[in-house]
Amino acid sequence: MTTPTRRRSFRARLLDFIRGGVSRLTGGWRILTDAQTRLLAALASIRPGRAAITRIRAAVLAFQQALAAFSRDTGAFIERWAATDLPTAYRDGSLDMLDRGNRPQSLWSWTPRHQATITTLTAQFYADLMGRLQEALRRAQAFLRAAQDAARARVTQFDAGSFDPDALRQQHPLGTVIYVNDARHPVETWAGAALSWQAVTTANAGAITTAYEQLGCTRVQVRDGSECGWRAHDDSDLADGTYRSIDDALAHPSAHPNCQRQFLPHFDRPNPLGAFA
């Protein structure tokens, strides 16, 4: 009677895990957006005079220090996410599959297959997140140059219209992430989608590999939203209730960010320990 409770708690833990990651990532990102706000306010308060350039340099230095803190803290989050958090999600997904097959969790270990699977996933996801961090740093440096140039023009050329904080913020929205189609999304939205995708994909990959490695399954049954497609949400090949080969399941452990996909073991022959197919 304990297995259903463990299953529910796994999904709840995974959601809590994702929410915690999103909170930490967006919290680190606030270092950057807060620094942008402080820099614009500091530069806006500077008037022409002997101390103007010195004050601009001090404001720029403060932004650069905050940018270094953002890079350090966000990079540390990404390191932990890839090295510790995602392997934990993978193992939890694996153990949940054993629960679903009514097999003892002691069967599971970091076999070479499991190690290879998690290494491939974490390397990809680490690169994805670090790419976003590097993009944010480049955009922040571009903002800093634009803000500094505008402030200098204001105090040296007496061009009051050259420095427009609102325009600078609109031109350099550091609280957004740019997607491949040039659409900009708030960091919170991006972080929720990215970390959900990575965590669910990783946990499901652990479950699928465990179904093959520890349970001897050649296929798994899919549980998903009733309208969710197999390869993408709008794929006409609907996923829910279908049986997929291990290779096909590993190729599509999730279909989209915030995907609800889960996998059940499917035994080609009756399971003497009472697992359900």
pLDDT tens sequence for the chain (277 residues): 344 555 558 888 999 999 999 999 999 999 999 999 999 999 999 988 889 999 999 999 999 999 999 999 999 999 999 999 999 999 999 999 999 999 999 999 999 999 999 999 999 999 999 999 999 999 999 999 999 999 998 888 766 667 899 999 999 999 999 988 888 999 999 999 999 999 999 999 999 999 999 999 999 999 998 889 998 888 888 999 999 999 999 999 998 888 889 999 998 755 444 443 3
Closest CA to 188 of 3, 21, 60, 68: 21
C-beta of residue 95 within 8 angstroms of C-beta of residue 190: no
70: left (phi over 0), alpha (psi -120 to 50) or beta: alpha
Q: Report the DSSP pairing between strands 176-178 and 184-186.
A: antiparallel
Closest CA to 260 of 234, 274, 239: 239
Letter string b/e over residues 38-48, b meaning 16 or more CB atoms within 10 A of that residue's CB: ebbebbbebee
C-beta of residue 101 within 8 angstroms of C-beta of residue 265: yes
Residues forming beta bridges with residue 176, ordered by sequence position = 186
Please tell me the distance from the alpha carbon of residue 215 to that of residue 80, in angstroms, as a whole number.
30
Please tell me the distance from the alpha carbon of residue 122 to that of residue 202, in angstroms, as a whole number.
8
- Collapsing DSSP states into helix, strand and coil, what is residue 192? helix
Please tell me the distance from the alpha carbon of residue 208 to that of residue 114, in angstroms, as a whole number.
10
C-beta of residue 253 within 8 angstroms of C-beta of residue 261: yes
Determine which helix (DSSP H) or strand (DSSP E) holds 116, and give its type and residue range.
helix 112-156
Tokens of 130: 């670090």
